[in-house]
């Protein structure tokens, strides 16, 4: 049977390889967990991204099928599949950007922290692979609980001597995407015209939308503020319950992941003014990691922005967020250190 890894025509490869070297920009991107609920639509959308010249799809199951399917799309990126731990090194070698949606999702009644037991080990193994095979790659970490998996990744990279805090970004874009949607609904605007900064982390009360800083400038009643904050903080649970045991957000997450990955690639290309929220190493609060707006550039994250002026409701929310976030960060750090 045809093997998608062998199917690349040499012309396609030549085209892919010369991009990024003086020709049109083209980046090498790997998706780890590419056969999953997020991984598949994410792989499809990245195959459609003109900034991607080579797309590596890695999973411990079903990678060949997803790769064969996606490789038939008549877009520019060359797609290669990688199956199982023994192919991890080949999947990662030479990559500019690695996106990680590998790991188990929630079922109704679970918190994201309930996923720690399984996903912490998965993220550690994958990050050990990154440290070995593409230590300069930008990493977009999606696997939950993000509040702990980002500190795990940082510790793995520190141990390996490859840690660059500017290249490790926890993906909180879905919180922003949801916030834009829900706020636009309340304001009667097109969501594409709305920008809501969401800071803190990616679980429950650690998700802190800054409604006082919405663009375009808008005011909300107390009732609207409480409704919106609660809906944004519980958007993930809303989907988990609606899916009733069949997993968590996958399609909106793939959309959000591509929006974020595209911003990282535009930054790498050298575009000016690329800014998105992400969960990163930070000095914005006393915590070592925190989500806030960052500027993306040729070296990954090039600037972390402060929180700006908060209203009383947001200041109280910030204290609650920090309390929970501190414990989740510590849990991730000690998983690798002990
Ligand atoms: P899924 O179960 O559908 O897919 C996960 C994929 O990971 C599977 O294909 C599985 O084979 C693969 N996998 C498992 N172990 C692996 C390993 N060691 N190496 C490579 N691949 C491995 O789950 P999903 O719905 O795609 O969700 C994936 C993760 O993303 C979950 O942890 C979920 O909670 C998280 N998530 C995060 C956000 C966010 O905003 N950051 C949003 C949605 C989901
Ligand atoms: C989300 O926000 O949708 C994800 O973190 C998945 C989840 O478990 O809620």
Ligand 2 binding pocket (C-beta < 6 A) is: 105-106, 112, 144, 174, 235-236, 239-240, 248-249
Residue 23, pLDDT score: 53
* Minimum-distance ligand 2 atom for the alpha carbon of 115: 8
Helix or strand run (H / E) with residue 125 = helix 116-133
For residue 216, cis peptide bond before it (omega within 30 degrees of 0): yes
Of 140, 326, 106, the closest CA to residue 234 belongs to 106
Choice from 90, 105, 207, 236 to test ligand 1 binding pocket (greatest atom count within 8 A of CB) = 105
Residue having the nearest C-alpha atom to atom 43 of ligand 1: 249
Residue keyed to tokens 């049977």 = 1
- pLDDT at position 15 is 59
Axis crossing angle, helix 173-187 with helix 251-269, rounded to the nearest 10: 110
Q: Write down the pTM of the prediction.
A: 0.96
Cα distances (Å, whole numbers) of residue 182 to 192, 239, 260, 318 = 12, 14, 19, 21
Cα-to-centroid distance, 102 and ligand 1 (Å): 4
Q: What share of the chain is helix, strand, coil (3-state, %, to 5)?
A: 50, 20, 35
**How do the pLDDT tens digits run along the chain, 338 residues long?**
445 454 456 666 665 655 544 455 699 999 999 999 999 999 999 999 999 999 999 999 999 999 999 999 999 999 999 999 999 999 999 999 999 999 999 999 999 999 999 999 999 999 999 999 999 999 999 999 999 999 999 999 999 999 999 999 999 999 999 999 999 999 999 999 999 999 999 999 999 999 999 999 999 999 999 999 999 999 999 999 999 999 999 999 999 999 999 999 999 999 999 999 999 999 999 999 999 999 999 999 999 999 999 999 999 999 999 999 999 999 999 999 99
Q: Is the ipTM of this complex over 0.95?
A: yes
The ligand 1 site (C-beta within 6 Å) comprises 32-33, 35-39, 59-61, 101-106, 115, 119, 122, 125-126, 142-144, 146, 171, 174, 202, 247-250, 253
DSSP H helix total and E strand total for the chain: 11, 11
Q: What is the pLDDT of residue 2?
A: 47
Q: Which atom of ligand 2 is nearest to the CA of 252?
A: 3
* pLDDT the model gives residue 20: 46
Q: Is 166 annotated for ligand binding?
A: no
Whether cis (ω within 30° of 0) applies to the bond prior to 145 is yes
């Amino acid at each position: 049977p045809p093997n998608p890894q062998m199917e690349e025509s040499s012309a396609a490869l030549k085209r892919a390889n010369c991009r990024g070297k003086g020709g049109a920009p083209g980046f090498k991107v790997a998706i780890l967990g590419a056969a999953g609920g997020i991984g598949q639509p994410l792989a499809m959308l990245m195959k459609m991204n003109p900034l991607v010249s080579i797309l590596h799809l890695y999973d411990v199951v079903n990678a060949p099928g997803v790769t064969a399917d996606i490789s038939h799309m008549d877009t520019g990126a060359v797609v290669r599949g990688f199956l199982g731990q023994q192919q991890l090194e080949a999947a990662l070698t030479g990559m500019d950007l690695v996106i990680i949606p590998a790991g188990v999702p929630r079922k109704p009644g679970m918190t994201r922290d309930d996923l720690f037991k399984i996903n912490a080990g998965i993220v550690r193994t994958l990050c050990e692979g990154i440290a070995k095979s593409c230590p300069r790659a930008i990493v977009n970490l999606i696997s939950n609980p993000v509040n702990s998996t980002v500190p795990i990744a940082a510790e793995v990279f520190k141990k390996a001597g490859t840690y660059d805090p500017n290249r490790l970004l926890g993906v909180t874009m879905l919180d922003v995407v949801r916030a834009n949607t829900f706020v636009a609904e309340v304001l009667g605007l097109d969501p594409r015209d709305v920008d809501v900064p969401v800071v803190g982390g990616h679980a429950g009360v650690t998700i802190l939308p800054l409604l006082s800083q919405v663009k375009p400038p808008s005011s909300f009643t107390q009732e609207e503020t409480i409704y919106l904050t609660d809906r944004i903080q519980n958007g993930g649970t809303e989907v988990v319950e609606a899916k009733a045991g069949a997993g968590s957000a996958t399609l909106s997450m793939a959309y959000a992941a591509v929006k974020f990955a595209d911003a990282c690639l535009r930054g790498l290309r050298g575009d000016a003014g690329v800014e998105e929220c992400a969960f990163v190493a930070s000095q914005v609060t006393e915590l070592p990691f925190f989500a806030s707006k960052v500027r993306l550039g040729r070296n990954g994250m090039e600037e972390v922005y402060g929180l700006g002026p908060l209203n009383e409701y947001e200041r109280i929310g910030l204290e609650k967020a920090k309390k929970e976030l501190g414990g989740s960060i510590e849990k991730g750090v000690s998983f690798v250190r002990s």
